[in-house]
Amino acid sequence: MAIIAGWMAGYVMAIVSTLALTYLAFIGRDSRFVRRWLEGGTPVLLVAVPLSVGTFLGWTMFGLLAGSAYHLADYRDDTVGPGLAPPVFLIAMAAIAVMPLPLLLIFWPRRWWLFLSQSVAFLLCFAWLMPALASQ
C-alpha cells in the first residue's frame, strides 16, 4: 500500500507543480523568456500540456521511489501516531524539501512565496499524506 500511497502523493504534487510552473512561465514577469523560445503562432497555453505531462511523469516516479523506500524501511513500529510520519522519514523529507530553496532564492528572490509554497506542498504530500495513506 505504501508504493501506491507514494504514487498518489506524487500525483498531488504534480498538480501543484504544474500550477506553479504555468504561473512562472506565462503569468509572471519572466514570461518574455518563454515567449522568445516559442514560434510566433504557437499558443502560449499549448506549452502547458507538455509541461503538465513532464511534471506528472517526474513526480509520480519520485512518489513510487519514496513509497518504495517507505515500504522497505518498514516504519510500522516507529510511527508517532495515526497518519504521522516517523521522525527519521520526516527529517529526510524536510531535507529534500528545503534543499533547492537557497539556489532558487538566489536566482528568483521575488518568487520566494512560490518556492516556499512548493516546499510546504512537498512536505504535506510526502511527509503527511503518503504515510497516512500507507497506514491504511
> How do residues 93-123 score in pLDDT, each as one tens digit?
999 999 999 998 888 888 889 899 999 999 9
CA-to-CA distance for 18 and 57, rounded, in angstroms? Answer: 11
Cell of 102: 537557497
pLDDT above 70: percentage of residues in the chain: 81
The model's pTM: 0.83
Residue 52 has pLDDT above 60, yes or no: yes
Provide the CA 122 distance to its chain's centre, in angstroms. 5
Query: Average pLDDT over the chain, rounded to whole?
Result: 84
- Where residue 62 falls among pLDDT bands split at 50, 70, 90? very high
Interaxial angle between packed helices 2-22 and 48-73, expressed in degrees from 0 to 180 and rounded to the nearest 10? 150
24 to each of 38, 48, 51, how far by Cα in Å? 15, 11, 12
Q: Where are the domains of the chain?
A: 2-134
- Main-chain phi, psi angles of 57, to 5 degrees: -65, -45
> How do residues 19-39 score in pLDDT, each as one tens digit?
888 887 777 555 666 666 666
pLDDT value at residue 48: 78
Average pLDDT of the segment spanning 47-70 = 91
